Amino acid sequence: MAEPIEEANALLQERGYAERDLAVHAGPRGKALLKGNKILSPLSDDAEVVLEVVRELVPTDAELGGKVLRPAELRAKL
């Protein structure tokens, strides 16, 4: 379970995010949570799905700029 979470966090760090701004955490019942200051509300799903969201849909911190990610928009693009 920790492997996809660790991989997602490594990708987020490479893209310029501080942990407080955007990070993946282990959640209840085997879920993973993408949360932080750069997302409107936490995105909760299976760790592999959260990793896919980070890999495919989360832009770099510089690309995101002052905007905030919206979980509903991320889900719609999956």
- Note the pLDDT tens digit of each residue in 46-75: 999 999 999 999 999 999 999 999 999 999
Q: Where are the domains of the chain?
A: 2-77
CB 22 within 8 A of CB 36: yes
For the stretch 40-63, what's the b/e string if a residue is b when 16 or more beta carbons lie within 10 angstroms of its beta carbon?
A: eeebbbebebbbebbeeebeebee
In the three-class reduction of DSSP (H, G, I as helix; E, B as strand; rest coil), residue 77 is classed as helix
pTM for this entry: 0.93
Residue 1 above 70 pLDDT? no
Residue 2 above 80 pLDDT? no
More confident residue, 1 or 31: 31
- Note the pLDDT tens digit of each residue in 14-32: 999 999 999 999 998 889 9
Residue 45 above 60 pLDDT? yes
